[in-house]
Amino acid sequence: MEKYNFGLDEEMVKALSEEFAPLNFVKTLKLSQPHSIEDARASLEEYGRELARRSIEKGEKKIDRVYRVMKKAMEKTGEMKFPFIPQRYLEIAYLSIQPFRRLRIVANSSRILSYRLNECSLYKAIEEQYGKKAANKMVCKSACFALIEEILSHFDFDIKPSLEASMADDGKCQFKIERK
């Protein structure tokens, strides 16, 4: 992790990556035991929500130059809170726990924020720990939904995200957050 320059505060990302290391978390799920899916889902939701809370908490303290200019632009135009505020915190969260160098944003207009995960450390960790069958149940999506919903709720957006493609069926996950 140290060899990267994030634009984001490096210490913040490092701290989040340690706090929310996917493999360490997945080991606690006990997915191999019968009737454990519901428990796992609840744990994943809490993991996603807590990742969102911590990303917001730390991200609001560590103001990088992109965020500083973004806030000025929002103040001047009265626009852009959506999609860029949720996008920022989703990027902080995902860049902290995922192996990719950038989050693949599919759309970020005033109406839609959509992004794609072509690889996922959480899905991979479940696969490594509990096998492909367990991973393909896509219980991990609970973490992503909780992450998105917590960020949206924190910034007063009443929007329900949807999953347009899944790692199990399509080899990638794609989430869409669309304003009505």
Residue 174 within binding range of another protein, rule CB under 8 A: no
The answer to whether the CB of 113 falls within 8 A of the CB of 82 is: yes
Written as six digits, the tokens of 174 are 């794609």
Report the candidate in 135, 99, 102 with the shortest Cα–Cα distance to residue 8. Answer: 102
How far is Cα 25 from Cα 126, in angstroms, rounded to an integer?
10
List, as one string, the DSSP characters of 86-120: HHHHHHHHHHHH-SSSS-EEEEESSSEEEEEESS-
- Between residue 38 and residue 77, which ones bind another protein under the rule CB under 8 A? 64-66, 69-70, 72-73, 76-77
- Between residue 88 and residue 107, which ones bind another protein under the rule CB under 8 A? 88, 91-92, 95, 101-107
Residue 15 within binding range of another protein, rule CB under 8 A: no
Answer for which of 43, 55, 87, 174 binds another protein (CB under 8 A) is 87
- Between residue 114 and residue 153, which ones bind another protein under the rule CB under 8 A? 114
List, as one string, the DSSP characters of 111-162: SEEEEEESS-HHHHHHHHHH-HHHHTTTTTHHHHHHHHHHHHHHTT----EE
Nearer to another protein, 46 or 155 (CB): 155
Residue 179 within binding range of another protein, rule CB under 8 A: no
- Count of residues engaged in binding another protein, rule: CB under 8 A: 37
Answer for which of 60, 79, 119, 169 binds another protein (CB under 8 A) is 79
Give the residue carrying structure tokens 């490594």. Answer: 128
Minimum distance of another protein from residue 98's CB (angstroms): 10
Q: Which residues bind another protein (CB under 8 A)?
A: 3-8, 64-66, 69-70, 72-73, 76-80, 83-84, 87-88, 91-92, 95, 101-110, 112, 114
